[in-house]
Amino acid sequence: MHLFPPDSDSPKRPNLALFDLDNTLLPLDSDYEWGRFLGRIGAVDPQSYQQENDRFYREYVAGTMDIGEFLAFCLAPLAAHSQEQLDEWHRRFMQDVILPALHPQALALVARHRHQGHLCAIVTATNEFVTAPIAQAFGVEHLIATRIERRDGRITGRHEGIPTFREGKISRTEHWLQQLGHDLSSFERSWFYSDSANDLPLLSRVTDPVPTNPDARLSAIANERGWPVLKLFQ
């Protein structure tokens, strides 16, 4: 098993590369940082919102987070403002928070898979509003993120379909592949890069699971299973 794809001009079957985003390709959690950003600009109450933001993040790391409760929390501020205002804020968020956090090592990892012609996607529990511009910054065409409901051009504060979280990452990835005429078995090799033990369901389904900047729980599991560990960041 190799951490990086070997150079090959003629693979027998196509290859698939899946990337978690937060604390994997990015040295931060974009959902958590978006909440902090909203507090800094006064879009939410800084103290009370940050307290809840911190609580959800601790629960996520511990593997106890209720995804429905969390989505209701993080999507509520989006429903309170127009799309134009949200887009303006997100442009500032990208400039102030995300673009300075794009590390050459992470960009090179994605670029290597793309250069080899692999089908690439970012698979993240963070919602599509926050993550779509980030996926573009990495040059990844396909984004499998938690979908948000919109009506009459506004975000309602609710999510749509299955959140891209834990087993939901498998369901959403399989549905995306079916739309392209594939399934996971279509690929000679399939990589999934992730930092979190919450992603064990999908890590266990690919041919090449790569714990990347792994948390303590995933690091222990990687050691038990003999999975290679990739450190993109210190």
**Residue written as tokens 């027998």?**
12
Catalytic residue among 22, 29, 31, 199: 22
CA–CA distance, 10 with 121 (Å, rounded to integer): 21
The DSSP result for 100-159, as a single string, is GG--HHHHHHHHHHHHTT-EEEEEEEEEHHHHHHHHHHTT--EEEEEEEEEETTEEEEEE
Sequence-distant (≥ 6) Cβ neighbours of residue 52 within 8 angstroms: 73
30 touches 23 (CB < 8 A):
no
Active site residue 152: no
Of the listed 7, 20, 31, 152, which one is catalytic? Answer: 20
Size of the chain in residues = 234
Our answer to whether residue 20 is catalytic in this structure is yes
d(CA 88, CA 73): 21
Nearest to 164 by CA among 149, 174, 154: 174
| Residue 66 CB neighbours (<10 A) | 11
**Dihedral through CA 220, CA 196, CA 74, CA 69, nearest 10?**
-60
CA distance linking residue 31 with residue 125, whole number of Å: 9
Q: What are phi and psi of 39, to 5 degrees?
A: -65, -40
Catalytic residues: 20, 22
